């Protein structure tokens, strides 16, 4: 059985949505940020500050290599996973990739609330990064879910419906 991998910018709610999808389906949930934090015994902020972003990106890639042959997982990814083409080639091998799309203001409001996000400290920088990345989220997505204004339960239903009935995808759920 294929995995479902959630991609999207910081603050999209990938972790929350992924864990609800996992509990609804009984599938195992993997959060790439949490996995890396557990492995490194450091927070994301700690990794960025002490080892640098490039070390964090190497850890992300190692995890994608590990996940590429796994199946039946719900995977919530970090917002920068799409920056490395190799990550996405590996994830796409065995996952339906779902882009959780939100308005930039919503994303920033959520993302700035947590210390865990070293790349969400300045709004202008946050927007610039988003503009660079948005085409990549779209490019790699098999499915785009417009999550703006929707509850976690509704987004979960959208994801499950699309994964069960891929024919519905463009017509009803993409923006």
List interacting residues with ligand S3P (CB under 6 A): 10, 14, 33, 44, 78-80, 117-119
List 74's β-bridge partners, or say none. 4, 29
- Residue closest to ligand S3P when measured from CB atoms: 78
If 0-12 CB within 10 Å is exposed, 13-18 middle and 19+ buried, where does residue 6 land?
Answer: buried
Instruction: Map tokens 């976690």 to a residue.
Output: 152
Smaller CB separation from ligand S3P, 42 or 161: 42
Cα gap 82→77, rounded to integer Å: 9
Minimal distance in Å, beta carbon 167 to ligand S3P? Answer: 30
Cα gap 140→159, rounded to integer Å: 16
Minimal distance in Å, beta carbon 19 to ligand S3P? Answer: 12
Longest C-alpha distance within the chain, in Å? 46
Minimal distance in Å, beta carbon 153 to ligand S3P? Answer: 20
Smaller CB separation from ligand S3P, 95 or 169: 95
Minimal distance in Å, beta carbon 161 to ligand S3P? Answer: 24
Q: How many residues does the chain have?
A: 175
């Amino acid at each position: 059985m294929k995995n479902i991998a959630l991609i999207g910018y910081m603050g999209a709610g990938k972790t929350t949505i992924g864990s609800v999808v996992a509990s609804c389906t009984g599938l195992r949930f993997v959060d790439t940020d949490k996995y890396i934090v557990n492995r490194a015994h450091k927070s994301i902020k700690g990794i960025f500050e002490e080892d640098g972003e490039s070390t964090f990106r190497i850890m992300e890639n190692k995890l994608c290599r590990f996940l590429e042959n796994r199946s039946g997982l719900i995977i919530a990814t970090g917002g920068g996973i799409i920056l490395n083409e190799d990550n996405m080639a590996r994830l796409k091998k065995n996952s339906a990739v779902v882009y959780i799309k939100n308005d930039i203001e919503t994303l920033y409001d959520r993302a700035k609330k947590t210390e865990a996000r070293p790349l969400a400290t300045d709004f202008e920088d946050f927007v610039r990064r988003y503009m660079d990345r948005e085409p990549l989220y779209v490019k790699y997505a098999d499915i785009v879910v417009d999550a703006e204004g929707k509850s976690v339960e509704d987004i979960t239903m959208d994801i499950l419906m699309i994964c069960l009935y891929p024919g519905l995808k463009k017509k009803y759920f993409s923006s």
